[in-house]
A = this chain, B = another copy of it.
């Protein structure tokens, strides 16, 4: 199997188009040592807010990803990848196949930039957990079954464990990593310091840090990067 660039990334910073961040801070994130910037939000995302981030980052060399929350929030200009999630434990097919069909029907897609992600949402109280009505009350066995389904049946290039806003169970992340044959394992949720970054990074291929930047600033974000180098 061809080696994908993102499989070498250890740390991604998520920028939420709906949260305020100064131009200077955006540029500092791009220079922070994080491996890629993912533009991604769950609520109140508009193309105008997405375009502002893309525009500020235009001249930065760092890989730039859009991870759309809906069919209307995709752009390709100035963007290296579009990571498109399918929520593998959603109760409602809207988040597995439904929005995807609307997106395909209504736009011209640059497929060479598109990467499919299987999301496993494990925090029922997060915005994304509530919106997708995900089955989060899962045994370890069921979590591993979802991971195998994504990895061996659907062959998703990326399996993303999302604890969104809370710090997850590192035993779960470790067990999932041991179960995956091909998918790259992303972990996101509650990484608020270097120690947590180091712990999750010891199991997942890639950790995603987002809220911390908005809550504690770029210097604290850097702590999570330094901790895993």
Listed in ascending order, the chain A residues whose CB lies under 8 Å from chain B are: 84, 86, 88-93, 96-97, 100-102, 104-105, 109, 111, 114, 116, 141-142, 145-146, 148-149, 152-155
Contact = CB atoms under 8 A, between A and B. Distances in A.
A105 B135 CA distance: 15
Contacts of A91: 93
Chain copies in complex: 2
B97 A142 contact: no
A104 B145 CA distance: 6
A136 to B, nearest CB: 14
A149 B97 contact: yes
Given A96-B97, A155-B155, A149 B90 contact: no
B105 A141 contact: yes
Nearest to A95: B93
Contacts of A84: 153
A101 B109 CA distance: 31
Contacts of A97: 88-89, 96, 146, 149
B93 A145 contact: no
A116 B153 CA distance: 6
21 contacts: A84-B153, A86-B154, A89-B97, A90-B93, A93-B93, A96-B96, A97-B149, A100-B153, A101-B146, A102-B145, A104-B153, A105-B141, A105-B142, A105-B145, A109-B152, A111-B152, A114-B152, A114-B153, A116-B154, A154-B154, A155-B155
